[in-house]
Copies of this chain bind each other. A is one copy, B any other.
């Protein structure tokens, strides 16, 4: 890793309160997203990243309101477009810490194409999906992670589609860091988010963040009862086949759901390929063309 790509040396911890936004979250009392917000604030504080060096970038959805509640830079973009905005932002100012956040609909539904390409591109970003297996903001339709048969406003006779498995999808798409967390276990959430931000490359953390209002199936209790810590269970995070084998079990629905870091690899992050341009952050480059360079540019057409 070259020195010019963001450097994660240890810094003194800050106060999580510092990261409290001006606006109180408008989530329903009990919404899992509070957990993600709290953990994220703790993680930034514990990693000691000054708030002006962070950008939190979301799409649209209940979960995507998060950047409004945290005291950092940020973007609240369009539904499904958090990752394109985050990648454009990151390359322009690569020494900032950029975290993309949003919902399962935002990231795995309308936005899944960008997700696939971001995974293989492996830019140094962290992506947190608040997965509640429902469309919250639009008041309860089926999402790409809703179970088969789930009754929602758009599927009154039961959801006919098999849910997408974000973990196997990410593993199949060239991800370099794949994890799953559950807001009911904030200690693990904090650990994983920290590891993700420190990871040099694209990190996806599918985070179970229950919707108390519209999803009566995938509740906090359900996850409490049905998840276990895969890392405690001794999984080798460098083994992608093992990670796939573990994750595909969800699809069969027989085993309990594994949480933790499934896979991490150290392939070069995207910024490495732009070393020359990123020797200083692009935002600090001088704009325009010198008279000498102008001559050269013109000469190629003469």
Contact = CB atoms under 8 A, between A and B. Distances in A.
A29 to B, nearest CB: 33
Interface stretch (A8-16, A95-103, A267-275, A278-286): A267-275
A161 B121 CA distance: 5
Nearest to A247: B172
Interface stretch (A50-58, A64-72, A210-218, A238-246): A238-246
Interface string A252-296: 000000000000000100100110000000000000000000000
A32 interface: no
B174 A171 contact: no
B244 A172 contact: yes
A160 interface: yes
Interface residues of A, number: 35
B162 A267 contact: yes
Per assembly, the copies of the chain total 2
A164 B117 CA distance: 8
A37 to B, nearest CB: 28
Nearest to A169: B172
B171 A172 contact: yes
Contacts of A248: 240-241, 244
A133 B244 CA distance: 26
A110 interface: yes
A112 interface: yes
B162 A120 contact: yes
A173 B172 contact: yes
A186 interface: no
A241 B109 CA distance: 25
A74 interface: no
A266 to B, nearest CB: 13
A114 to B, nearest CB: 8
Given A121-B162, A169-B172, 7 more contacts: A111-B113, A112-B117, A113-B113, A120-B161, A168-B171, A168-B173, A174-B251
15 contacts: A109-B117, A111-B113, A112-B113, A112-B117, A116-B116, A116-B164, A120-B162, A121-B161, A121-B162, A158-B273, A161-B270, A164-B174, A241-B245, A241-B248, A244-B244
